[in-house]
C-alpha cells in the first residue's frame, strides 16, 4: 500500500510539473499573436527602408515594437521574460514557431504595408491620413 501511494504521488507530481507555467509568462496564444505582429513590423521596416534609405532600421523597429506592445497591452519586459521562458522550453516554443510559419504560408498580406490592420490604422491616424 505504501509503495502504491509513493507511486501515485510521484505520478501526480510529474504530471503537474509538465503543465506548470510561470505566472508572469504570456499564454501561448497571446505570445503567438505578439510574435506575429512583430514579424509583420519587421517586414514593414524592411520594405520601408528599401524605399527610403535615410531611415534607421533599428529606430523604426523599436518604435513599431513599442506599438505592438501597446496594442497587446504588454510591456517589453513581459515579452522578454516570455520569450526567454519559451526559448528555454523547446517543447512549448516549437508549436508557436510552427503555427507562425503555417500562418505566414496560409495568409496573403493583409495590406500593401505588411502590417496588422490595427497597427496600420494607428500609424496613419498619427500622421492624419487615411490608410
**Contact at 8 Å (CB) between 36 and 103?**
yes
The 10s digit of each residue's pLDDT in 45-96 is 888 776 766 667 788 889 999 999 999 999 999 999 999 999 999 999 999 9
> Residue 12: its pLDDT value, please?
44
124 has pLDDT over 90: no
Those residues with Cβ within 8 angstroms of residue 64's Cβ, 6 or more apart along the chain or in another chain: 41, 44, 45, 119
Domain spans in the chain, listed from the N-terminal domain onward: 26-127
Amino acid at each position: 500500500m505504501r509503495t502504491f501511494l509513493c507511486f501515485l504521488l510521484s505520478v501526480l507530481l510529474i504530471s503537474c510539473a509538465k503543465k506548470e507555467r510561470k505566472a508572469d509568462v504570456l499564454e501561448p496564444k497571446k505570445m503567438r499573436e505578439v510574435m506575429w505582429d512583430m514579424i509583420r513590423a519587421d517586414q514593414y521596416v524592411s520594405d520601408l527602408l528599401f524605399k527610403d534609405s535615410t531611415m534607421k532600421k533599428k529606430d523604426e523597429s523599436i518604435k513599431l515594437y513599442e506599438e505592438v506592445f501597446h496594442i497587446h497591452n504588454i510591456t517589453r519586459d513581459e515579452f522578454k521574460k516570455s520569450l526567454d521562458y519559451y526559448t528555454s522550453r523547446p517543447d512549448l516554443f516549437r508549436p508557436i514557431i510552427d503555427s507562425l510559419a503555417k500562418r505566414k504560408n496560409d495568409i496573403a498580406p493583409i495590406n500593401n504595408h505588411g502590417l496588422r490592420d490595427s497597427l496600420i490604422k494607428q500609424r496613419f491616424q498619427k500622421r492624419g491620413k487615411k490608410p
